[in-house]
Amino acid sequence: MTGKPLVALLTGAGVSTDSGIPDYRGPNGLWRRDPEAEKLVTYAYYMADPEIRRRAWRMRRDSRTLEARPNAAHRAVAELERAGVPVRVLTQNVDGLHRLAGVSARKVLELHGTARAYVCTGCRVRGPMEDALARVAAGEDDPPCRECGGVLKPATVMFGERLDPVVLGEAAGIAQACEVFIAAGTSLQVEPAAGLAGVVADHGARLVVVNAEPTPYDDRADEVIREPIGTALPELLRKIAAGRQ
């Protein structure tokens, strides 16, 4: 045993903005700039309207998400693990950057799935997103499943879909067991993931919110940090590694 506290991090879009991936709900977020874009990641619209799917595939084709690289915040989490601190990452992000930064895969729970894979809504076959995007680049504007002809979508949880109950159960268990819980770069507005902060506050763990905008859980937090995440999170995690938090 290390004797060090179990640290859980709930990370949202704000952790990845320094990697060039835009957030959704911030002042310059995607939903504020283009409210129609939300339909592209809403399951009912996506399944019902081929034009929505074609737009969504064009958006994925033009997105730089799969080219993004971890930033200082992602690397700081990996460094915390290497320092011997028990750490678990519960991420609302679908970009896979925590794993790319070097955090052990078994210590990362991707609550909303991953954009790095596709899944068939019919037979549930999965594959690398690069393969589907190559088909789009070759002229298939809404590539069907090659196994069953079904509709393909990213292996992410779209609006209107339920989170995997097994993953959510694991996340709740981590929230109940941790001694320090850091909510970083998340608006804490999307349930049920946001409710994990309430679970933490209820059982008395230390709750730290690192976010540019106010969140519904600020008044229950032990500490609220409004500094840029790219500098604030690494500094906070260095203090934890050194036993100063």
What the chain holds in terms of domains, given with CATH numbers, is 1-21+70-112+161-245 (3.40.50.1220), 27-63+115-156 (3.30.1600.10)
Pairwise CA distance, residues 157 & 147, whole Å: 22
Which of 74, 98, 112, 203 is the catalytic position?
112
Handedness of CA 202, 205, 206, 212 (dihedral sign): negative
**Residue 15 pLDDT exceeds 90:** yes
pTM (whole model) above 0.75: yes
112 is catalytic: yes
Token representation of residue 156: 């992410």
* Residue-wise pLDDT tens digits, 171-197: 999 999 999 999 999 999 888 888 999
* Residue-wise pLDDT tens digits, 97-153: 999 999 999 999 999 999 999 999 999 999 999 999 999 999 999 999 999 999 999
